[in-house]
């Protein structure tokens, strides 16, 4: 099922499966890519309760080994619509017998979408209903449409500072890094940047990115509360993903213990963690 929210100029379509944003339009133009399974079959999956891949596809909590696929399971579940207005909607996913087999915590994940003028605000509320500390990660993975020549596009940052990206090897961090040179505040897009998977940044000082075509701004993505960022596409694919994360993939040397995982978040019993990101359309 799809839920539509809208205001005078802007419209968003969100699927109940995965609470996944499938369309974001302003004046009839869609800023989210149209799915082509030859490249990818998603538009904006929610990454929970992990971001990225686990070493050997598994983790240990206390004395038990659990398996989870890359980016977790939230994207594969039907969410319940718990609130809805003309310009907003709130989805909910709760722990179940099925999730407890692979993730031993009682949780609720709420995803809120609100349209304010030309801006879509996406809020995550992670609620720990367990009687013990809960460990989790969460992240966004929106794919924004590229129309025409990929190399006409660039990302504009807050400041002029070269970027250090952390290298992935077979979905795990290798320990190697690479410096990416900017042109002023601009990162010109080129498919060669993504030959070894996503660009991944840790403790990212920049808290917004503007996607521009021929230096003309199209949209601005803000993520003030997320310390990690991924940028990703596939060769010749007509999209660019801008991905704010609370958490990252395992290192090749990871112990496998969930409580020791780099970037893992901890939530006290009965506590709530709320974070948001937004995209403004120009």
Please give the Cα distance from 103 to 47 (Å, whole number).
14
For position 204, what pLDDT does the model report? 85
- H or E element that contains 53: none
- SS3 category, 213: strand
Enumerate domains of the chain plus CATH numbers. Answer: 2-281 (2.70.98.10)
Confirm if 209 and 157 have CB atoms less than 8 A apart.
yes
| Averaged pLDDT, 93-98 | 98
Contacts of 135 (CB under 8 A, 6+ apart): 61, 105, 258, 259, 261, 264, 265, 266, 267
pLDDT tier for residue 161 given thresholds of 50, 70 and 90:
confident
Stretch 87-103: mean pLDDT: 98
CA pair distance 79, 90, nearest whole angstrom: 9
Mean pLDDT of the chain: 96
Summarize pLDDT for 56-69 with one digit per residue, the tens. 999 999 999 999 99
Q: 122: which 2 tokens?
A: 């996406």
Rounded average pLDDT over 166-195: 94
Separation of alpha carbons 197 and 189, rounded Å: 14
Q: Is the pLDDT of residue 29 over 90?
A: yes
Q: What is the mean pLDDT of residues 224-229?
A: 96
pLDDT, mean of residues 210-231: 96
How many whole angstroms separate alpha carbon 194 and alpha carbon 252?
20
How much is the pLDDT for 160?
A: 86
Calculate what percentage of the chain has a pLDDT beyond 90: 96
Distance (Å) of CA 103 to CA 58, 136, 139: 11, 9, 17
Which two three-digit tokens encode residue 150?
A: 């990929």
**Mean pLDDT (whole number) for 245-271:** 97
Q: What is the mean pLDDT of residues 224-246?
A: 96
> What is the pTM for the complete model shown?
0.96
pLDDT beyond 90 at 205: no
Residue 238 burial class via C-beta count within 10 angstroms: exposed 0-12, middle 13-18, buried 19 and up: middle
Residue 203 has pLDDT above 90, yes or no: no
pLDDT per position as a tens digit, 121-135: 999 999 999 999 999
> Is the peptide bond preceding residue 211 cis, with omega within 30 degrees of 0?
no
Looking at residue 206, its pLDDT comes to 87
Q: What is the mean pLDDT of residues 141-167?
A: 94
Instruction: Say how many C-beta atoms besides its own lie within 10 A of residue 219's C-beta.
Output: 21
In this prediction, residue 93 carries a pLDDT of 98
- What average pLDDT does range 200-221 have in this prediction? 94
Task: Supply the DSSP string of 7-41, one letter for each residue.
Answer: -SSEEEEEETBTTEEEEEEETTEE-BPPPBTTTBS
CB 88 within 8 A of CB 112: yes
């Amino acid at each position: 099922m799809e839920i539509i929210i809208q205001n005078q100029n802007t419209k968003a379509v969100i699927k109940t499966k995965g609470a996944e944003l499938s369309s974001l339009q302003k004046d009839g133009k869609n800023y989210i890519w149209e799915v082509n399974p030859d490249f990818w079959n998603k538009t904006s999956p929610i990454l929970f309760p992990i971001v990225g891949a686990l070493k050997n596809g598994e983790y240990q909590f206390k004395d038990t080994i659990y398996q989870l696929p890359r980016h977790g399971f939230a994207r594969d579940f039907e969410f319940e619509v718990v609130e809805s207005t003309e310009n907003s909607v709130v989805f909910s996913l709760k722990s179940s017998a099925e999730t407890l087999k692979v993730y031993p915590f009682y949780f609720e994940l709420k995803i809120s979408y609100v349209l304010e003028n030309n801006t879509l605000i996406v809020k995550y509320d992670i609620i720990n209903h367990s009687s013990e500390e809960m460990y989790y990660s969460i992240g966004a993975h929106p794919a924004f449409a590229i129309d025409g020549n990929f190399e006409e596009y660039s990302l504009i940052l807050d400041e002029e500072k070269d970027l250090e990206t952390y290298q992935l090897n077979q979905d795990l961090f290798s320990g190697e890094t690479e410096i990416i040179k900017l042109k002023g505040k601009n990162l010109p897009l080129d498919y060669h940047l993504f030959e070894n998977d996503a660009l991944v940044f840790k403790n990212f000082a920049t808290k917004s990115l503007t996607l521009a075509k021929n230096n003309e701004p199209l949209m601005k993505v803000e993520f003030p509360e997320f310390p990690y960022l991924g940028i990703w596409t596939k060769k010749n694919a007509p999209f660019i993903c801008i991905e704010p994360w609370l958490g990252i993939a395992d290192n090749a040397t990871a112990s496998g213990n969930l409580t020791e995982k780099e970037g893992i978040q901890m939530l006290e019993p009965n506590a709530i963690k709320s974070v948001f990101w937004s995209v403004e359309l120009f």
